[in-house]
Structure 1
Amino acid sequence: MSKTTVDAVMAELAALDDPKMRAANEKRGDDHGVNLSRLRAVAKRLKTQQDLARGLWATDDTAARLLALLVCRPKDFGPAELDAMLRQARAPKVHDWLVNYVAKKSPHAEQLRVAWTADPDPVVASAGWALTAGRVATTPEGLDLSGLLDTIEGQMKDAPDRLQWAMNTTLAQIGIEHAEYRVRAIGIGERLGVLKDYPTPPNCTSPYAPAWINEMVGRRGA
């Protein structure tokens, strides 16, 4: 298979740009107009191409960066490179995909989780908390869950939106996955009231931690 050039991919993305979708995405801070299903189809065709991924990332174009995160090889990024990429990620969707599709799969995930969580930039810190939420659910060994609840209880209420959301996700995961902390997690959620009035579509789970915890535990019959 011949290597695809950045210019060729950028031309393809430009052809896929839909002004109506761009307008809708921009309301959420994502400055691109490419349907994500079509973007994934492009990525499926291109398969993994690390050099292309780095080239697409360097364009600073949101759609190109999303595609880069789909065709990259997460294990090939060093911790400094991932840290720089996170700080360059302007659009919320790019930030989310970088954390969930790349950083979580990196051999440096734990190192980055610790560093990012302690970062003074709340957007960077939110990435650390997102990785923490993932660990709570999958590999909680070594985590101080009680200490995490202490921090959430003291800081989540006044945290900026993205950081608040990630801390709230961690709170919910602790309550869902760890029965011994469930009552405390629900109590913290009830006292803080974070996302209690978040508009939730029918048949979707509310992000309000007490409701989220009870819903997921109820589904499991736990």
Structure 2
Amino acid sequence: MAELASLEDPGARAVNEKHGDDHGVNLTKLRAVAKRLRTQQELSRELWGTGDTAARLLALLICRPKAFERDELDVMLRDARTPKVHDWLVNYVVKKNPYAEELRVSWFADPDPVVASAGWALTTERVAKKPGGLDLVGLLDVIEAEMKDAPERLQWAMNHCLAQIGIEHAELRARARDIGERLEVLKDYPTSPGCTSPFAPAWIAEMVRRRQVT
């Protein structure tokens, strides 16, 4: 904890706080600390228990994703309120855990929109890698009905799922684009030169183009 405190950078904190993250540690430096520590599950749990955002990010880098029980991950997810911790927990830990599918189903329709966004993120992973058994048309129905007015983090997760369906499943591409065009979610989101817009129709078109080129 003392070492993490010594890495505090006011400039990094200012940037992070704009995105809702309350820490000031440069992530490259944080990863260097994790590389030195290697995997340490018990230390990971202790770091998580501090509640400190930088410590929790480090915890997620040195843990053993498969070592967590289902209920433990559920508690952690519900306690992960900053965007970066939430994102890393889902992508670095839950996706690699044996209970990922159970948690996906459990979280997907949770009344807490932040928890539900994790369920949607896991669903998007399945859309891309293991779509068998998913009701893709049903997902598009929910997105069409609810994405426009969803809270921000849930809206982002639903939009990602919409784009992924359009990218991966040609038979649903036209409908996915149409939903994106009509709802106009993230249509005007500022995008840096060379980066792909998160606006679903543009995102779908660009990724399909890239695959055709390669």
Instruction: Report the Cα offset of residue 90 of structure 1.
Output: 1.9
Instruction: Report the Cα offset of residue 20 of structure 1.
Output: 1.7
Instruction: Report the Cα offset of residue 67 of structure 1.
Output: 0.3
Q: Following superposition of structure 1 onto structure 2, how do residues 171-210 of structure 1 map, counting pairs within 5 Å?
A: 171-210=162-201
Structure 2: gaps of 5 or more residues: none
User: Partner residue of 2:74?
Assistant: 83
The 10-residue stretch of structure 1 (16-25 or 206-215) with the greater mean CA deviation from structure 2: 16-25
User: Partner residue of 2:129?
Assistant: 138
Deviations 1:84-118 (Å, cap 9, x if unpaired)?
Answer: 00111121100000011011111100000011011
- From 154, 167, 172, the equivalent of 2:145 is 154
Distance in structure 1 (CA, Å) of the matches to 2:13 and 2:197: 27
Instruction: Report the Cα offset of residue 174 of structure 1.
Output: 0.3
Structure 1: gaps of 5 or more residues: 1-9
- From 20, 38, 47, the equivalent of 1:56 is 47
Number of aligned residue pairs: give it.
Answer: 213
Deviations 1:45-95 (Å, cap 9, x if unpaired)?
Answer: 111100000000000000000000000001011111001001111211000
The residue type equivalent to 1:139 in the other structure is K
Instruction: List structure 1 runs of 4+ shifted beyond 3 angstroms.
Output: none
The residue type equivalent to 2:16 in the other structure is N
Which SS does the other structure have where 1:196 is aligned?
coil
Instruction: Report the Cα offset of residue 166 of structure 1.
Output: 0.2
Distance in structure 2 (CA, Å) of the matches to 1:27 and 1:204: 20
Deviations 1:96-146 (Å, cap 9, x if unpaired)?
Answer: 000110111111000000110110000000000001011100111110000
Distance in structure 2 (CA, Å) of the matches to 1:216 and 1:185: 14
Identity %: 76
- From 92, 98, 111, the equivalent of 2:102 is 111
User: Partner residue of 2:15?
Assistant: 24
- From 15, 19, 22, the equivalent of 2:6 is 15
The residue type equivalent to 1:39 in the other structure is L
Distance in structure 2 (CA, Å) of the matches to 1:24 and 1:160: 22
Instruction: Report the Cα offset of residue 203 of structure 1.
Output: 0.1
Let me know the Cα RMSD of the aligned residues.
0.8
Distance in structure 1 (CA, Å) of the matches to 2:107 and 2:120: 8
User: Partner residue of 1:4?
Assistant: none
The residue type equivalent to 1:122 in the other structure is P
Which SS does the other structure have where 2:15 is aligned?
helix
